[in-house]
Amino acid sequence: MGIRVAVAGASGYAGGELLRLLAGHPDLEVAVVSAGSSAGKPITSVHPHLVGHPAFDGKNFAATDAAALGDAELIFMALPHGESAKLADALPHTRIVDLSADFRLGDEQAWHKFYGADADYAGRWAYGLPELPSAPGKASAREQITTARTVAAPGCYATTSVLALAPLLAAGLAEPDDIVVVAASGTSGAGRSLRPDLLASEIMGSMSAYKAGGAHRHTPEIEQALAEACGTPVTLSFTPTLAPMPRGILATCTARLTQQARQSQNPEQALRDALAAAYGSSPFVHLLPAGQWPATAAVYGSNGAHLQAAADLHAGRAVVVSTTDNLGKGAAGQAVQLANLMLGLPETAGLTTHGVAP
C-alpha cells in the first residue's frame, strides 16, 4: 500500500494530468478523486486516457468536501481560484499542495487588485518552486517546501519566467527595474470551461495577445518571486499570448544587462554560467548547449524545463528563452514534485524530464 493521496477538482485539465502522473507513481495511492459539477460521473468519461487503471475504472468522482478528502495523507487541490481557501480551512491538519492562486501572494493589496476587491485574501503559503534561488541568509526554497505542511504551487507562466530570470538577478547580471516577458501558452492554460475564444475555429492558424499592459494575474507573482531571489524590488512588463497548440509555454524573457555583466570578458558566457550554476544539479531544469534554442515539443508531457541565454549587446539586454509544459512543470508535474519533497520521497518519483516527440 502506498501513501494515500486525494485530488480535489480532478475534472479539469490539471486534475486529469495529476491523475495520469499519480497512476504511475511508485509510492502514492490515489484514494479519493473529487469534482464539482462532475461529481457522480465516471472518472474515465471525463478522462478517457485513464481507462484501464484500477484506481479509476468503474469509479465516479466524489463530491469535493472535507469529509470525503480528510482520510488522505496529502491532498492536491486543483480547484478554481477562490475555492481552495475554504476547503483548506476545513482541513487544518492535512498536508496540501494547492494549484490555485489562493495562497501564492504575500501582498494583500496586489491580491485584491488582480483577483477582485471582494475576493477573500487567504494569506501566503510556502511558495512551491524548489529551484528558486534564495536571498543570502534565507532558507532555500527546497528546505521551506520540505518542512511545510501546506505549499502553493506556482502558476505556469510564473514558473517558466522565474526559472529564466532568477539566477541572473541573483548573480547581479540583470537589472531588476526593467524586465520584459512575452510568453506564448497552449490553450489548456485557460482551463476546461467552454469559451467562444477557445473554439478550434477561433484559434487554429492564429495567435493572439490577451491581458496585456500589466493586467495578467501572474504579474505580481513573478515580481514577488524574482524580488525574493535577488533581495530587491522588481518591475515587470508581462504580455501573454495564446498559441494554437493544446499545451506548452515558450517565454522570451529580457532584462537590461548590469554594468558587471557588460564589463565581463564574455557577457553571454556569464549569463550561461549563472544558469548552469543554479541548475547544474537540478533533475528537471536544463540549460541547453550553446546555439540550441528551447522548443515546446521537447518538454511535452514532462516535468522538464529547457533554457537558453544570449547577450544582446546592441540593445544592452540579457535574453533568456524558457519552455515548460504548462500542465507538467507548470502545474501537475510540479505538484507531484512538491508532494515528493513534502513526504520525504525521491524528488523525481513518478516524473520524467523527457518530453514526447514528435
For the chain, residues classed under CATH 3.40.50.720 are 3-153+331-342
User: Residue 243 has what pLDDT?
Assistant: 93
**How far apart are alpha carbons 323 and 66 in whole angstroms?**
36
Predicted TM-score of the model (pTM): 0.95
User: Residue 139 has what pLDDT?
Assistant: 83
Calculate Rg over the CA atoms of the chain. Answer: 20
User: Residue 329 has what pLDDT?
Assistant: 98
**What secondary structure, in 3-state letters, does the chain show?**
CCEEEEEECCCCHHHHHHHHHHHCCCCEEEEEEEECCCCCCEHHHHCHHHCCCCCCCCCECEECCHHHHCCCCEEEECCCCCCHHHHHHCCCCCEEEECCCCCCCCCHHHHHHHHCCCCCCCCCCEECCCCCCCCCCCCCHHHHHHHCCEEECCCHHHHHHHHHHHHHHHCCCEEEEEEEEEEEECHHHHCCCCCHHHCHHHHCCCCEECCCCCCCCHHHHHHHHHHHHHCCCCCEEEEEEECCCCCCEEEEEEEEECHHHHCCCCHHHHHHHHHHHHHCCCCCEEECCCCCCCCHHHHCCCCCEEEEEEEECCCCEEEEEEEECCCHHHHHHHHHHHHHHHCCCCCCCCCCCCCCCC
Q: What topology is assigned to 157-328 in CATH?
A: Dihydrodipicolinate Reductase; domain 2 (3.30.360)
Respond yes or no on whether the N-terminal peptide bond of residue 130 is cis (omega within 30° of 0).
no
User: Residue 81 has what pLDDT?
Assistant: 85
**How far apart are alpha carbons 20 and 276 in whole angstroms?**
31
User: Residue 167 has what pLDDT?
Assistant: 97
pLDDT along the chain (358 residues), means of 10: 93 94 96 91 94 92 89 94 91 94 95 88 95 82 96 98 98 97 89 71 85 94 96 96 94 98 96 97 97 96 98 98 97 98 98 90
User: Residue 125 has what pLDDT?
Assistant: 96
User: Residue 194 has what pLDDT?
Assistant: 63
CA atoms within 13 A on the CB side of 246: 8
User: Residue 119 has what pLDDT?
Assistant: 85
Residue 230 catalytic?
Answer: no
Catalytic residue among 7, 30, 156, 275: 156
For 134, the grid coordinates are: 534564495
CATH architecture of residue range(s) 3-153+331-342:
3-Layer(aba) Sandwich (3.40)
For the chain, residues classed under CATH 3.30.360.10 are 157-328
